[in-house]
Structure 1
Amino acid sequence: MLALVSVFVVGFVVEWLSHTRFLKSTADNITAGLVQTTMYAVRVGLAYLLMLAVMSFNVGVLLAAVGGCTVGFFIFGSRVFVNSKATPFQDPSDLPPLNC
């Protein structure tokens, strides 16, 4: 049960990192680049960890991973909790999309 909850949380955190802005507009380029690089490494590492968990071919782990990513996207990526009519992708996060 703890493994399923952990996989769910990792999927949720990957979606949170994909849709969060970490930098202030006043940050200098070196600091901004280091923060972006660090957060990108954390996000990619967690995404690969999630992929390895799914590759265990356990249906429960697969459902927990999909559920965590789905709930994370629902909270952070969809328009449910945004007051404006603009799409959530018009104000992108600091990190590039997670495309491999």
Structure 2
Amino acid sequence: MDHDHMHGGDMGGMASPPKSMNGAGGMMHRHKMMMHMTFFWSTNAEVLFSGWPGTSTKMYILSLVFVFALAILVEWLSSTHMIREGMNNVAAGMIQTVKHANRVGLAYMVMLAVMSFNAGVLLAALAGHTPGLFVFRSRVFKKKARPPSYQKTSDLPPMSC
């Protein structure tokens, strides 16, 4: 048995990427992309979509702004009041369902962006959630110091992370 074949040759015990035959009978290698499993600092990251932002520093900054905006939107959706007193239960339920789906979808996008393990993306997400909570959900900008105990502060239940 070939020892290098069994243990992946010079790839440190990892199996080599599979090879396949192309139409001309030649060998074609598939390129496997390795994902970071620890946080790293670099403008060369892949955030949310394959190949995005690429190697451009401007696109990396745009991806950070995008993650920042998504985090702020999550906080805004968590605090908005669209259901009014006396509203039809079906309409209120539909509004609540659509709001919840949007909030969870955006929150998952922020989570997936952070899972790129890029430290800049993590800081952008934190930087978005922080002023988002401060502006939309803290007591600083509320007209009343405290809502009555029977009054809800949002149409949606709190997110649990």
The alignment's TM-score, normalised by the length of structure 2, stands at 0.58
Superposition map of 1:1-100 within 5 A = 1-86=61-146, 91-100=152-161
- Superposition misfits of 4+ residues, deviation over 3 angstroms: none
Task: Using the TM superposition, name which of 16-25 and 77-86 deviates more.
Answer: 77-86
Q: Deviations over 1:54-97 (max 9, x none)?
A: 0000010000000100010010111111232216x964200111
Separation of aligned partners in 1, 2:90 and 2:142? 31
Provide structure 2 residue ranges, at least 5 long, that are not aligned to the other structure.
1-60
Return the index of the structure with the highest Cα Rg.
Answer: 2
Q: Deviations over 1:26-65 (max 9, x none)?
A: 3100011011001100000000010000000001000000
Identity %: 54
Instruction: Please state which structure has a larger fraction of its residues in helix.
Output: 1
Separation of aligned partners in 2, 1:26 and 1:84? 22
Provide structure 1 residue ranges, at least 5 long, that are not aligned to the other structure.
none
